[in-house]
């Protein structure tokens, strides 16, 4: 597998590059691609195109800006899992599936750390933000009730405005399965218009 890294020059790029190298060489990831491009830029995107894959991580992420090694390691792992399970679903729906798989593989503490930090630094300006800030407790819902409730309480203190039209989506995401994943995707896309 060929890896191409495209990072801005400087300390931050070197920091993320070093962590990526360590994770990709020591991890057990099923990545059946001839080539993976890893970008540090102004957005979060993951694409799979036949034998090529691309991961883009936002360099404005607070965990990257703070050079939080544990947080950045988890972000990179999360995106590698996204490539492993790429389903062409909305990112929010994929995040629930990926987060639960990471918990099953023993990375629950790391995923909790990443999401807890994200919640504390996230603002809620619209319904899409409201869905994103609620995803962490949904991810933990079936695997770890304690952490799910803790995250839900933190979100409740941050979010002053509620969006009741998201209830059906949250209910489906809490019990997501291969049978209802496409329904969750349709509801999410309808809400994010």
What pLDDT was estimated at residue 193?
83
Residues 180 and 100 in one domain: yes
Q: Give residue-wise pLDDT tens across range 58-76.
A: 999 999 999 999 999 999 9
Q: C-alpha 70: how far from its chain's center?
A: 15
Residues 14 and 65 in one domain: yes
The rounded percent of the chain whose pLDDT value lies above 90 is 85
**Last residue in a domain, options 13, 41, 69:** 69
Confidence of residue 192 (pLDDT cuts 50, 70, 90): confident
Residues 144 and 100 in one domain: yes
Q: Give residue-wise pLDDT tens across range 5-62.
A: 999 889 999 999 999 999 998 878 888 899 999 999 999 999 998 899 999 999 999 9
What pLDDT was estimated at residue 1?
86
The rounded percent of the chain whose pLDDT value lies above 70 is 100
Number of domains into which the chain is organized:
2
Q: Which of 111, 5, 2 is CA-nearest to residue 55? A: 5
**Last residue in a domain, options 69, 100, 128:** 69
Assess if residue 76 is contained within a domain. no
Assess if residue 82 is contained within a domain. no
Domain assignment of residue 53, given as a range = 1-69
Residues 99 and 165 in one domain: yes
SS (H, E, C) the chain: CEEEEECCCCHHHHHHHHHHHHHHHHCCCCCCCCEEEEEEECCCEEEEECCEEEEEEECCCHHHHCCCHHHHHHHHHHHHHHHHCCCCCCHHHHHHHHHHHHHHHHHHHHHHHHHHHHHHHCCCCCHHHHHHHHHHHHHHCCCCHHHHHHHHHHHHHHCCCCCHHHHHHHHHHHCCCCCCHHHHHHHHHHHCC
Residues 170 and 131 in one domain: yes
Residues 91 and 182 in one domain: yes
Measure the N-to-C terminal CA separation of the chain; round to a whole number of Å.
38
Assess if residue 61 is contained within a domain. yes
Residue 57 to residues 78, 158, 166, 168, Cα–Cα distance (Å): 11, 25, 27, 30
Q: Is residue 150 over pLDDT 80? A: yes
CB proximity list for 192: less than 8 A, separation 6 or greater: 90, 127, 128, 131
Q: Which of 65, 53, 64, 96 is CA-nearest to residue 78? A: 96
Question: In this structure, what are the phi and psi dihedrals at residue 38, rounded to the nearest 5 degrees?
Answer: -120, 115
- Measure the CA angle with vertex 60, ends 56 and 64; round to 5°: 85
Q: Is residue 104 over pLDDT 90? A: yes
């Amino acid at each position: 597998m060929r890896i191409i890294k495209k990072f801005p020059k400087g300390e931050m790029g070197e920091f993320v590059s070093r962590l990526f190298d360590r994770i990709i060489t020591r991890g057990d990831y099923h990545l059946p691609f001839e080539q993976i491009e890893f970008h540090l830029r102004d957005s979060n995107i993951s694409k799979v195109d036949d034998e090529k894959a691309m991961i883009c991580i936002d360099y404005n992420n607070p965990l990257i800006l703070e050079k939080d090694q544990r947080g950045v390691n988890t972000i990179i792992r999360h995106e590698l899992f996204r490539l492993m399970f790429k389903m062409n679903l909305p990112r929010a729906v994929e995040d629930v599936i990926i987060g639960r798989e990471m918990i099953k593989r023993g990375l629950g503490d790391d995923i909790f750390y990443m999401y807890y930090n994200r919640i504390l630094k996230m603002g809620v300006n619209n319904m899409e933000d409201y869905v994103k800030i609620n995803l962490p407790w949904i991810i933990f819902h079936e695997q770890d009730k304690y952490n799910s409730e803790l995250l839900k309480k933190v979100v409740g203190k941050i979010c002053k405005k509620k969006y009741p039209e998201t209830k059906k989506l949250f209910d489906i995401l809490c019990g997501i399965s291969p049978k209802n994943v496409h329904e969750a995707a349709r509801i999410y896309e309808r809400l994010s218009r």
